Structure 1
């Protein structure tokens, strides 16, 4: 560990800068879930954790390099993992919508058109290893098993919400529906919205379709007995919101 912390290879080995690593160790030590022992410091345990997830290493390989038993490597890994998960409330803070994001407020290209936008939302497929019997459920658009992960972030590029665990074959609309209705949901303040990757805006109760996202609106959490006329009214409201923003932006562009 001393050699790692005193060299310039820290970022190459654990994919984290030295100062960030030290701050992370201090933060995790403060949780009480990761503790120094007579044979392993907090720094060593965190470094092993980062090396495993950064290089996709196996426990038996780490056991050889660190001269520790497989049980010890596994225990340290899960201690650090649980400590990191316990910090969720400190690092993942969903926006209240009370203030216009600085990045929008101070950019004439976006303000006032997107003054009610609190962030961006998107999905990504992350490669995973699963038992062979479960692999078909996790093999979607890729040629290898993946998780379909939903994430939201602010315009400062900090994550505000992450939902992982869904298999690669799960549709984006199904995952979004789950995010909006689980015990700890993705919250959207009234009157605010998220920008989406497919050109839609996610508002409370409304997905504003820009291009080809009718499926998302149809599969969101709505009462299936809802009258078709009411659903069509939501579409019209969504389209009107989209058009109003587009017209405002065009009018400003013409005056430049």
Structure 2
């Protein structure tokens, strides 16, 4: 047996016609996966929006969820899976283009993004949790008061729209008031731009007040399970004893002062959305529409919100300009509940002292 036969590079194959044909097998070549960490730190930041050490921390946290048993000769390593997904989150690039960059097929890139996204969501309770203990609530209230002199605030609430492609089922319900298809995402944040609660499952036609009334956190406030704190929201929400909204037509100096202080404190949630969308362009209109089913889009939005909380301490790059939408929601809102206006008037009186 010669060397070629031993390596299996050549063999004689009978075709059943009295002929013997020599077939040369192609030697199997394994492409070396590119090492995403083998580049300068500034280039790495531009590609993935995060420094290398932060990405390694993410690898350490969700890596156990990504190490799957496989019969393939070369599985995609965990750091590469995470970098592929971060690059997609950072840019919204098409999967085919990502595959070309990393030497992988489009179907492989699709599976990688799906598995990493869902693995990040599995860590949600460690990173997005509304504080139910009194000590944590007092700390958030103190931080809001130090920054905005507005008492008892436990969170700022608002909605933001993430553009998606027109779905094949119930397409019309995803069209929002600005006439494009979207997911309406409700979120509550603290004064440090950290998300405390995120709801990403409703189509763009759903009003902010509807999402709040049907959310777990809205029900907790309504049931009196969070009795010592206030949410602040824009005029798209109804006035509640636990939810302070602006006065639509202020007539006194105290009411105008209340509106000014309310707007200053409330804008932290808009700033929070701006930071998240600036870092992760896949959910920004400049990155185009998310080209997935609504369910997959909601998963991507949740994963990005979790990553926002994990990386909020990292400054944005100079080119990551923050765009903040300060346009108020429409003033059409459900009827205020009895007693809510009295609660707001008492708060106005406190602010005037």
Q: TM-score range by the shorter chain?
A: 0.7 to 0.9
Gaps of 5+ in 1: 219-230, 252-256
Of residues 81, 102, 107 in structure 2, which corresponds to 1:66? 102
Structure 1 CA distance, aligned partners of 2:237 and 2:346? Answer: 14
Q: Deviations over 1:83-110 (max 9, x none)?
A: 10100110011112513224135x2852
CA contact (8 A) 2:186 2:199 kept: yes
Corresponding residue for 2:52? 18
Q: Which residue matches 2:127?
A: 91
Deviations 1:189-248 (A, max 9, x none): 123221113386876x75455435985444xxxxxxxxxxxx8xx43x211111111112
Secondary structure in 2 aligned to 1:33? helix
Task: Pick one of 177, 181, 191 that aligns with 2:228.
Answer: 191
Number of residue pairs aligned between Structure 1 and Structure 2: 227
User: What secondary structure does 1:142 align onto?
Assistant: coil
**1:208 and 1:239 in contact (8 A); partners too:** no
Aligned to 1:103: 143
Residue 9 of structure 1: aligned partner: 43
Q: 2:183 aligns with which of 147, 154, 164?
A: 147
CA apart distance, 1:59:
2.4
- 2:96 aligned with 1:56, yes or no? no
TM-superposed CA distance for 1:53, in Å, is 2.5
Q: Which residue of 2 aligns with 1:162?
A: 198
Equivalent in 125, 138, 144 of residue 161 of structure 2: 125
Deviation at 1:28, TM superposition (A): 1.1
* TM-score normalised by the chain length of structure 2: 0.56
Residue deviations 1:90-149 (CA, integer Å, cap 9, x gap): 0011112513224135x2852xx51x3211111111112233564432221334321110
- In structure 2, do the counterparts of structure 1 residues 58 and 200 end up closer, same or farther at CA, with 3 Å as the change threshold? closer
Query: Residue 343 of structure 2: which of 225, 229, 241 is its match?
Result: 241
Taking structure 1 as the reference length, the TM-score comes to: 0.75
Aligned to 2:297: none
Distance change in 2, residues 1:202/1:194 (3 Å): farther
**Could you tell me which residue of structure 2 aligns to residue 221 of structure 1?**
none
Say if 1:77 and 1:126 are closer, same or farther in 2 by CA, change over 3 A. same
Give the RMSD, CA atoms, in angstroms. Answer: 3.0
Alignment partners' CA distance in 2, 1:78 and 1:239: 46
Change (3 A) 1:200 1:243: farther
Instruction: Summarize the Cα distance change of 1:109–1:125 in structure 2 as closer, same or farther, 3 Å threshold.
Output: closer
More RCO (CA 8 Å, sep 6+): 2
